[in-house]
Structure 1
């Protein structure tokens, strides 16, 4: 029997939502340890079960220059319209373990007080979907939770991005768990199924760029109308990489996101200043450095990268913002790859600007 996708025949949408809301269809989040249904071995990543419970497979591991504890990194996308994925679908449980969990959850909810009428009918049809091949458009049903194919594939489920603050976006992957054979791509209707490109975007989100303090001359304290030279040596920074990967039986994907510094932008912290060049953006040199170190004999020259302050900072300081722009690209499983939006990360440095004192005789 079939119906329209995501809608069970003979059951209202409201009743279905009520019935399903009590059953957790979301796989473990990408940054955490595997979810343990009971006391399964949380160190495992492949999914499965033991005498104490079921543990799920969907876990993304991060390596390289990434934020600690699965948090967001410090990269800001130069494209304000670009965002990492709020959710995706990934391998969840094998057939026998999925049957164990779903059967327990459905039975528990069907016996709950008030779970009759349309809500109870929705749960019955959900049970039929996984047990008696009840399906709908583009979504076939399953016979006994596909246990005859256990080991030959996995049920996939939605994963919420724990670093997405918008609850509606985070929960927008709302399809029921679906089966994928080992080595096969998910059905085409699941556009948010995990891919190397999604992994690359997640690696971007978790990437941690180095804290880089710009060298200044004069250092920290300068004079009004005296050019301040700014530079970054090649040895101070280099390309940065972050990798995201998922590896379960029959399914392995990875993507590495690479950030390469391309320019330094100076914001003096006051309008009473002139930047060099006028745009304030200092491009990378042929030797991968930025700007030019100050040396004796250059006092009468205009720095290729720097600032001249036109007014004293008084009893305080100016907050010089030095922001590095990084060109970001990615490569992944199967030779996939491409570009991601430029990323930026900046530091503030306190600069004291004094009036030049003169003595009249």
Structure 2
């Protein structure tokens, strides 16, 4: 299985110290090894990272050639930029705080470590990092969706790491759940490119339909399963292609069908390949350009596949997610023929 390594990191700041509480903006976590650890970076501040332990498979396989990322057809919805998940045991937490003292510019490492000790060691609200509860639960921490590290919302999981007893569900909307796993899997769906086949190839001709189609081998259902090892918790998100939308890149064109939405055929193909003798026929999927392109420009023909998205989980929960879209653009040159014998 592939292990993703999203992380929350930041430099030590006066704001953190003055707050008097740990903040996952200066994140504590087990690091890439899952055994605790800290790092330094070019900013000159020691850092401790919390990384997601969520793993994904694609159609049951551990790797795939990911050619594109789906965009939600609902502009008001995106997969989560961060969430909370079981990050480390009491021993791992204590070791991570101790590692802060190994990198101590201007005494900041000790200062921050002392702050964490006051919170997790001295009974405010924890005592001795909950070492007496080792094996009875985990500290949960915020982690970043590795596909959305640049999203402003990636810093919103800013609660200090908090204790959750084994088998309990934290009262936190962004706590890892089957739905969040499904939404993360949405981000991991590998969709094929949408470079279309067209006839005539190369240059199209004014008032002569251009046939458009896509190979059936490319467009099949694809599923991604996201799981949290050791918990039995997983969710599977499935994408199924449902239509191709053609945007000719100019208002001086007619599309077939008129909506520009070409259906998916029963065999998974889209449209119909052009064959000799069909030049006077109307293509099931295509475009008729009404004006030639300028000598120095081309029309940007865009082909966008819409995918229907649904999910299931090991808990029995499941639902639909917003449709996803993925498209590509290619240049089309259109030539003028003064007299066309049809």
Contact between 1:319 and 1:351, CA under 8 Å: does it hold in 2? Answer: yes
Q: Distance in 2 between matches of 1:114 and 1:298?
A: 75
Q: 2:141 aligns with which of 150, 157, 168?
A: 157
Shift of 1:129: 4.3
Q: 1:323 aligns with which of 304, 309, 323?
A: 304
TM-score, normalization by structure 1: 0.74
CA distance 1:73–1:185, change in 2 (3 Å): farther
Shift of 1:19: 6.0
CA distance 1:265–1:106, change in 2 (3 Å): same
Q: Distance in 2 between matches of 1:27 and 1:73?
A: 31
CA distance 1:27–1:99, change in 2 (3 Å): closer
Q: 2:189 aligns with which of 207, 219, 241?
A: 207
Shift of 1:20: 3.6
1:50 match? none
CA distance 1:19–1:145, change in 2 (3 Å): closer
Q: Distance in 2 between matches of 1:172 and 1:231?
A: 44
Cα deviation 1:147-189 (Å, max 9, x = unaligned): 122123221111123443567522222222122233x13322x
Contact between 1:106 and 1:127, CA under 8 Å: does it hold in 2? Answer: no
Q: 2:121 aligns with which of 125, 128, 131?
A: 131
Cα deviation 1:106-157 (Å, max 9, x = unaligned): 8998x937999xx99x93xx645433544xxxxxx33322212212322111
Provide the secondary structure at the position in 2 that maps to 1:88. Answer: strand
CA distance 1:148–1:28, change in 2 (3 Å): closer
2:37 match? 37
What stretches of structure 1 of length at least 5 have no aligned partner? 1-12, 40-53, 135-140
Provide the secondary structure at the position in 1 that maps to 2:217. Answer: helix
1:64 match? 58
Q: 1:296 aligns with which of 276, 281, 288?
A: 276
Q: Distance in 1 between matches of 2:143 and 2:53?
A: 9
2:159 match? 175
1:51 match? none
Provide the secondary structure at the position in 1 that maps to 2:37. Answer: strand
CA distance 1:187–1:16, change in 2 (3 Å): farther
Cα deviation 1:8-28 (Å, max 9, x = unaligned): xxxxx9864266469833447
CA distance 1:330–1:194, change in 2 (3 Å): same
TM-score, normalization by structure 2: 0.77
CA distance 1:179–1:87, change in 2 (3 Å): same
Provide the secondary structure at the position in 1 that maps to 2:183. Answer: helix
1:242 match? 224
Cα deviation 1:77-107 (Å, max 9, x = unaligned): 1111111212111111112222233356489
Shift of 1:266: 0.6
Q: Distance in 1 between matches of 2:155 and 2:246?
A: 40
CA distance 1:72–1:314, change in 2 (3 Å): closer
> How many residue pairs were aligned?
315
CA distance 1:277–1:180, change in 2 (3 Å): same
Q: 1:75 aligns with which of 57, 66, 70?
A: 70
Shift of 1:225: 0.3
Q: Distance in 2 between matches of 1:346 and 1:96?
A: 48
